[in-house]
Amino acid sequence: MSDASDDDDAIWLTVESHKGIGGMYTYCGRGSRKALEQWRRGELRGALTLEHTYWVEEDVDTGRRSPVVVGRHPSFRHGTGVVHLSAATIVLIMELRHPEPGVLDPEGGRVVHLGAIRELRHDND
């Protein structure tokens, strides 16, 4: 069970992290308020755990933004949605009121682009 599993302690977060190679990576998910406070005070050791993790990728050619939801996206479909980020690589944490609308909806067959929900069309429909 992860740190974010206690609903009374859970908070939605956006976390910016680096991998020591100059790039910044942004992740969103539910984390622990206790771990957030430990990080803020410089006391968090090990990793910050995020549940229901997702991030948004932007197509450099079209500018379209698409969510990558761990456990749903084809590249990460076997994931559980739990991601552990090294506390030493976290640069910024922002508290959120809720996740981006539509990104974590349980309905299948939908793609979210910039807040717009479009039905997927199948060739045989």
What are the extents of the domains in the chain? 3-99
Return d(Cα 26, Cα 109) in angstroms, integer.
25
pLDDT, tens digit (0-9, with 9 covering 90-100), for 1-39: 345 556 778 999 999 998 766 778 899 999 999 999 999
Segments in 19-93 forming alpha helices (H)? 33-40
Residue type, 98: H
**What's the chain's average pLDDT?**
80
Task: Give me the mean pLDDT over the 94-121 stretch.
Answer: 63
Task: Give me the mean pLDDT over the 64-75 stretch.
Answer: 84
Return d(Cα 123, Cα 94) in angstroms, integer.
41
Question: How far apart, in Å, are the Cα atoms of 97 and each of 14, 18, 45, 94?
Answer: 11, 24, 26, 10
The reported pTM is 0.74
The answer as to CATH 3.90.550 being correct for domain 3-99 is: no
- pLDDT at 66 exceeding the cut of 80: yes
Question: Strands, E, within 21-122: which ranges?
Answer: 24-32, 47-58, 65-69, 83-86, 90-96, 110-113, 116-119
